[in-house]
Amino acid sequence: MFSNTKRAVTLTLLASAANIAFAAPAPVSDLNSEPVTASVVNASQSVVNAAPETDVQRLERLLQNRNRVQLQMQQQIDQMSLEIAELRGKLERNSYDMQQMLERQRELFIELDRVRGEIKSVGNTSAPAADVDSDADKGVYSTNVDEQTAYQNAVDMILKKRDYAGAIAAFIQFQKDFPDSSYAANASYWLGQLYFAQKQDKEAAKSFAAVVTYRDSNKRADALVKLGDIAARNNYQAEAKKFYQQAIDEHPGSASAKVAKSKLQE
């Protein structure tokens, strides 16, 4: 009987141990995995942060992009506005210069027409003079030492010093100081050449026209040719031909007449 009781107690104890074992199972561990650390936690947080942007965030990003594009476009517009303003200024300046040129041409045409009338009037009152064509001031002298010196100094500014602006001023002053000088025609001729070289055609025409009024001047034939050159340079071909023909008719044996013939044949 005692053995049966012992056997019952042993079975009870074994049953109790079994219940405890099933109630608290041992933890299962993955031998291939690492323990949970801070890096794993950070990685998890990054995944959370990389979540798709919200509608508000997307709108903010689009607004920022639009503002940046608008700023770039405004800068380009401002630059183009400056360039257009600069071009407009150049265009206005060119237009003004063109108007001035046309005005000078109109004044020159009036001057040439007046010169033609004066020359024709002189031609009707006196016979053509014999021409002695030369680049030198041949046959022109003065007994006035001051007059001779002033004239020679003006000529030297051209031939020796190459001071053309100074020569113009010197000849103008010479004409004021010695209005009845025997060098008057030559001084006007030099002035005409200086103005012609600088394309101051109106002043050149006046100076050459003054030379033409001196019937005995050896510069007269060349002055007529130069008047023709001025007219031709300003597209007044009919006027140019008249001056060339007048040089031929009035000074038929001169070198200037030969030049005038060649120009009429061009």
Domain spans, the chain: 182-265
Short-list 214, 229, 223, 221, CA closest to 247: 221
**Rounded to an integer, what distance in angstroms lies between the CA atom of residue 145 and that of residue 159?**
21
pTM score, whole prediction: 0.53
**Residue 225's pLDDT band (cuts 50, 70, 90):** very high
Predicted confidence at residue 136, as pLDDT, reads 40
CA torsion 159-160-163-164 (nearest 10°) is: 0
**Residue 245's pLDDT band (cuts 50, 70, 90):** very high
- Mean local confidence (pLDDT), 117-142: 44
Predicted confidence at residue 107, as pLDDT, reads 54
What is the per-residue burial (b if ≥16 Cβ within 10 Å, else e) of 212-243?
A: bbbeebbbbbbbbbbbbbbbbebebeebbbbb
CATH 1.10.3720.10 fits 182-265, yes or no: no
Predicted confidence at residue 58, as pLDDT, reads 84
With a CB cutoff of 8 Å and minimum separation 6, the contacts of 66 are none
Q: Are 204 and 222 in contact (CB under 8 A)?
A: no
Lowest mean pLDDT among 46-55, 61-70, 180-189, 195-204: 46-55
Q: Are 132 and 139 in contact (CB under 8 A)?
A: yes
How high does pLDDT run on average in the chain?
76
